[in-house]
Chain A
Amino acid sequence: KAGVTQTPRYLIKTRGQQVTLSCSPISGHRSVSWYQQTPGQGLQFLFEYFSETQRNKGNFPGRFSGRQFSNSRSEMNVSTLELGDSALYLCASSLDISNYGYTFGSGTRLTVV
């Protein structure tokens, strides 16, 4: 059984650029959540998608956005990158919304220079 797949694994971007990260959930999982992980703040919730609709949103600026496709795959986008956006971005999938026994992907390590 394939796990949660995130691409790319590593990314280096320049301040002011934008970036798109991709997540393919476990087959049959319909809910996809995104988290930002940094040494200073730990794991922070970005948003959750279910049936192509954003169902929950964390306390992040509007530069952070996402979407989910009909096959449950999800993307998140960060526009106008700042140095503080450097982090590990984790995608987690689960069978249903608000079921937080997640399966996480290995993450995308984003470095903003």
Chain B
Amino acid sequence: EDQVTQSPEALRLQEGESSSLNCSYTVSGLRGLFWYRQDPGKGPEFLFTLYSAGEEKEKERLKATLTKKESFLHITAPKPEDSATYLCAVQAESGGSYIPTFGRGTSLIVHP
């Protein structure tokens, strides 16, 4: 069974303190890995799609990387507005479909 595990479950940072969130996966035939950000009371907001090992994407203070077993979301010099839950989802072939499997998320709080 496909597994997507995110760590840590919760992370508290001081403003400006860089860190990384992890998303490890055990799937065969990865077609895509997605990162989303979710604010309280809202639906997830799409951030990145990564397709192959070695790929990297950046957006403002966020940088996502992908290896064959895991993805990292690096947050450089975070600000309080980066506080949110970050979700990753993995898309792989399973029984003829490509439905993404979501991890449980990492809840990030950035203190001013």
Residues of A near any B CB (own CB < 8 A): 4, 42-45, 48, 56, 58, 90, 92, 98, 100-107
Q: Across the A-B interface, how many residue pairs have beta carbons closer than 8 Å?
A: 47
The distance in angstroms between the C-alpha atoms of A96 and B103, with both chains bound, is 23
Q: Which residues of B contact A104 (CB under 8 A)?
A: 36, 43-46
Q: When the two chains form their complex, are residues A106 and B34 in contact, meaning their CB atoms are under 8 A apart?
A: no
Cβ of A62 to closest chain B Cβ, rounded Å? 18
Residues in A with CB closer than 8 Å to B100 are: 45, 100
Residues of A within 8 A of B102 (CB): 42-44
A60 to B89, CA, bound (A): 19
- B residues whose Cβ falls under 8 Å from a Cβ of A: 32, 34, 36, 41-46, 49, 87, 89, 91, 97-105
The answer on a CB contact under 8 Å between A102 and B46 is yes
In the complex, what residue of chain B is closest to A9 when comparing beta carbons?
A: B41
B99 touches A90 (CB 8 A): no
| Beyond A42-B103, A102-B46, A106-B41, 16 additional pairs, beta carbon < 8 A | A42-B104, A42-B105, A43-B87, A43-B89, A45-B99, A56-B98, A98-B91, A100-B49, A100-B98, A100-B100, A101-B34, A104-B45, A104-B46, A106-B42, A106-B43, A107-B43
Q: Cβ of B34: which chain A residues have Cβ within 8 Å of it? A: 100-101
With A48-B99, A98-B98, A101-B49 as contacts: A90 and B91 at CB distance below 8 Å: no
